[in-house]
Structure 1
Amino acid sequence: MGKIVLVFVSLLALVQVLAVDAVDRVKIWPMPESVSHGHGSLYMNKDFELKTEGSKYNDASGILKDGFSRLLHVLQVAHVVDGNSSGADTSLLLQGLHVVVLSPDDELQYGIDESYKLSVPASGKPVFAYIEAQTVYGALHGLQTFSQLCQFNFKTSVIEVPMVPWTVIDQPRFSFRGLLIDTSRHYLPLPVIKNVIDSMAYAKLNVMHWHIVDTQSFPLEIPSFPKLWDGAYSISEQYTFADAAEIVSYAQRRGINVLAEIDVPGHALSWGIGYPSLWPSKDCQEPLDVSNEFTFKVIDGILSDFSKVFKFRFVHLGGDEVNTSCWRVTPHVRKWLTKHRMNESQAYQYFVLRAQNIALSHGYEIVNWEETFNNFGNKLSRKTVVHNWLGGGVAKLVVEAGLRCIVSNQDKWYLDHLDTTWQQFYMNEPLTNITNPEQQKLVIGGEVCMWGEHIDGSDIEQTIWPRAAAAAERLWTSYNKLAKDPRQVTGRLAHFRCLLNQRGVAAAPLAGPGRVAPEEPGSCYSQ
């Protein structure tokens, strides 16, 4: 009996090892819903082409064509592809990609269909890989996955697709998969922001949360109130309104929404540099003056201007870390509170709800940090998404109240917490303790946050990556496909990190917590 048990345990261990090895051989990140592959190889023709016959999408805006050009670029950027495949067996020459998009519409918005099917045959005459997607943005995800199937063949100096035939069927687990960048604590030049957007697309993240302004600076031009720009650090550390439109367009063409944030009523000292009347007083400068109608006129102007550029369904209104003591100690504000029979807490609620109504009037739904829910949750607009950040457990309370939630708990998904490891990022589950299927649907996704106190253009990429990629798989891959132990994905994540490096993204080594340097000489794949 003992020998039988021993044999069974040994076989079970062998099966587990083989299963891990089979998964490890598939180097795609994030892991798709369904993957199968063979053992053959194809070689890309030097005239690799895009075909779209049968597609209902005419690509008038060039989104698919540009995505295909970027695919060719990332495949060729790591090595000089100068091999000659003209004499090769034509049945093994991959002639191009045939992409069929079933929807003619290319509007990017929350909740669009991002699914795709990718197949690469083992041979044929002629040989084409095939992507079918409901929307062009699903097709872009298919292109990203295809790019990870390819590798440079050093013997032939051409791009090879090993392990054919491939069949990949894929769709995201959550509709909101975000990364926050902060341009108030440190200004980030446009090329840096664009590089972040490119790297987000590689990991299938789809929302860039732009924390534009804060206490420290107000770098964005607001045409309705141009003096707000006086709050920028310097004349060269500013974004024009056209710059903002360029960032939105650049992101949209890569399938990424831009969630714009103005944090009110706290975190807004910089607003008063250009308009001092927004401060309760010169000596007590935030939160914004709740008693001044001009405050809400400015918010209305900002959101009116935003609506011309930031077309995402949501706008973020902050609402966190509000210290109302300025209202209490400033005579004219205290007088206003008395007149309206409000205490400071009620004034905080009044401010948040009035800002929400202004946003609603401009067609937005609202995201607020969790303090607004913790303080007066049942008063919030039903179009509010509560952004969790303080810790675990809040998401469960939010969805029980019937509101939507985004998870960014700081102990696991704040990238500026350099002691948080990629393993902790990977294992952070947005649906923890939420078992009701209808309530699970109210968790629309999650977001990793790159706060900028100690981050600028010199170190942002290696602070974001590869830890953000660990969260990206948690948000993309279906729960039953996620590894229960992060050690099972170490090799695959290391491969993705090295792929980012090859594409010019300064992703840090896996070993250690955030933003570490290589410990010693060695292969990229072992760091």
Structure 2
Amino acid sequence: MEIRRLEGIFLWYLVCVFAISANAANINHLNIWPMPKSVSYGYGTLHLSNEFELRTDGSKFADASSILKDAFKRSLDVLRSTHELEFNASKIDPLLVLKGIHVVVSSPSDELQHGTDESYELHVPAKGSPPYARIEAKTVYGALHGLETFSQVCHYNISSRGIQVHQVPWTIVDQPRFSYRGLLIDTARHYLPVPVIKKVIDSMAYAKLNVLHWHIVDTQSFPLELPSYPKLWDGAYSVPERYTFADGEEIVSYAKSRGINVLAEIDVPGHAESWGVGYPALWPSKDCKQPLDVSNEFTFKLIDGIISDFSKIFKYKFVHLGGDEVNTSCWETTPHVRKWLQKNRMNGSEAYEYFVLRAQKIALSHGYDIINWEETFNSFGKKLSPKTVVHNWLGGGVAQNVVKAGLRCIVSNQDKWYLNHLDAFWQGVYSNEPLTNITDPKEQALVLGGEVCAWAEYIDASDIEQTIWPRAAAAAERLWTPYDKLAKDPEKIKSRLSYFRCLLNQRGVAAAPLDGYGREAPLDPGSCYMQ
């Protein structure tokens, strides 16, 4: 009898050892993207009820604008969209059926702003007792992330013809590493229809990106209606390729309901030739159309009107004022501007500084903090407003200098995070570290995060999704997941990223294969998971 008891203990010990080692071995192969801060799981399986429901009792969040309710419906829609469901719950042990998800949000507010708490906890029981998964979050936007993670641990089962949750029980405790996790789209080089922008926003939410940087206007076109100066959108490519003021409001509202802020950009004083189509006085001359005329007070009056209109649409804390690639030779060779420079004892470089700082003051007067491209810091950093965020794009080492100067920084270095560079491979995107050579915790805190950029000289509605995805997902994990959980060798996460790419395809997102150049077509027939 004693021998049998010892044999039983030994077998139990072997099972435990096997389970623990299997858990450790499989943790890197969990198909969740981006990888959460903390994950534990088991080996059971639950079935989602055909009447899977949302419960919110105990939550302080009233959901007056239906953010949570709509997000829950979207989660069910993406789960149910891959196959027709034929699951028969009557043939399953009731304890193995999950009836719904209970979401508890402790803040009553739906305000979305920089620094909004995005943390959440997700718990899925081993058996349906209680028969509900549970999400706890400080804000509704943390709850949205929890719903996205839950959707990724659910899978269609070809045998049961229903949705299952494998590897239960789940306990996931999660929060983002950086507060700014951005994607830039450019509607000046090519117009993007509103439904296309909305699809991009949807896909951002799947990867937990939270800032859509909308580079609305540039040299080539000015497509946005602004009531203060209604002739500005005369600079659009055509009448159909325009956004109404209401379109702008709709895009912001749509993004907010998915936990995404919209950062608007006007790029001044350069990259602004299109402004003068409607208001030619903004051009230094007919032969020299940018930078905007620094000598004309109307220029700054118009900028004030634009930012005033922006403040009615774009509620994010920041506005992007550009400031990059300014060639002042136009000012110095145009007679009336040259005369103004001489009168004010300025050369071209000093006038560039004057313009940028005056534009900053205008934005500050409307309650915005400012983001400027790094040339402004490289040229006259100490004179920038202390409320400036410097947007690094040219090269390495800039972020270090910015934070040493006490300013905040966003990283988008072009060799790694410019998605229009089709030779920016996913491995380099994943490995690009915003805190490179920044070791002081106080300086690290000044790095708000980073942003991948899809500049649109060669991008329009026909190819934007496969240009962005899946490479943007590699950056999304770098910006979300704790540093010590990131793979030092990107190849170790390739299968998980490939799985996420296939998940995007299943959700209707035209994400390209991992291998090869950005947006390259599959090379041969084969499984999505092997490309």
- TM-score above 0.5: yes
Number of the residue aligned with 1:5: none
Does residue 287 of structure 2 align to residue 283 of structure 1? yes
Number of the residue aligned with 1:250: 254
* Structure 2 counterpart of 1:334, one-letter code: R
**Structure 1 segment 212-361 matched on structure 2, within 5 A:** 212-361=216-365
Quick one: distance in 2 between partners of 1:156 and 1:18? 26
Q: Closer, same or farther in 2 for the Cα pair 1:423/1:18, shift >3 Å?
A: farther
Matched residue SS, 1:98: strand
Number of the residue aligned with 1:409: 413
> Would the aligned equivalents of 1:95 and 1:126 in 2 still touch at CA under 8 Å?
no
Residue in structure 1 matching 2:72, options 68, 75, 90: 68
**Structure 1 segment 84-483 matched on structure 2, within 5 A:** 84-483=88-487
Quick one: distance in 2 between partners of 1:88 and 1:125? 15
Quick one: distance in 1 between partners of 2:271 and 2:229? 18
1:75-99 CA distances to partner (integer Å, 9 max, x unpaired)? 0111111222133111000000000
1:127-173 CA distances to partner (integer Å, 9 max, x unpaired)? 10000000000000000000000000111111000110000000000
Deviation at 1:23?
A: 2.5
Quick one: distance in 1 between partners of 2:84 and 2:320? 44
1:283-336 CA distances to partner (integer Å, 9 max, x unpaired)? 000000000000001100000000001000000000000000110110000000
1:188-247 CA distances to partner (integer Å, 9 max, x unpaired)? 000000000000000000000000000000000010000001000001000000000000
Number of the residue aligned with 1:38: 42
> Would the aligned equivalents of 1:192 and 1:457 in 2 still touch at CA under 8 Å?
yes
> Which range moves more in the overlay, 131-140 or 76-85?
76-85
> Would the aligned equivalents of 1:20 and 1:488 in 2 still touch at CA under 8 Å?
no
Deviation at 1:349?
A: 0.2
Count of residue correspondences: 512
Quick one: distance in 2 between partners of 1:85 and 1:491? 33
Quick one: distance in 2 between partners of 1:104 and 1:459? 40
CA-atom RMSD, angstroms? 1.1
Does residue 36 of structure 2 align to residue 50 of structure 1? no
Deviation at 1:21?
A: 4.1
Matched residue SS, 1:86: helix
Number of the residue aligned with 2:5: none
Deviation at 1:512?
A: 1.2
Deviation at 1:449?
A: 0.2
Quick one: distance in 1 between partners of 2:29 and 2:482? 19
Quick one: distance in 1 between partners of 2:427 and 2:213? 23
Quick one: distance in 2 between partners of 1:24 and 1:497? 17
| Identity level (%) | 73
Matched residue SS, 2:90: coil
* Structure 2 counterpart of 1:441, one-letter code: A
Quick one: distance in 2 between partners of 1:125 and 1:115? 25
Quick one: distance in 2 between partners of 1:342 and 1:170? 53
Matched residue SS, 1:45: strand
* Structure 2 counterpart of 1:39, one-letter code: Y
* Structure 2 counterpart of 1:290, one-letter code: V
Matched residue SS, 2:303: helix
Runs of at least 4 residues of structure 1 off by over 3 A?
17-21
> Would the aligned equivalents of 1:261 and 1:318 in 2 still touch at CA under 8 Å?
yes
Quick one: distance in 2 between partners of 1:166 and 1:275? 60
Quick one: distance in 1 between partners of 2:117 and 2:209? 14
- Where does the alignment leave 5 or more consecutive residues of structure 1 unmatched? 1-16
TM-score by length of 1: 0.96
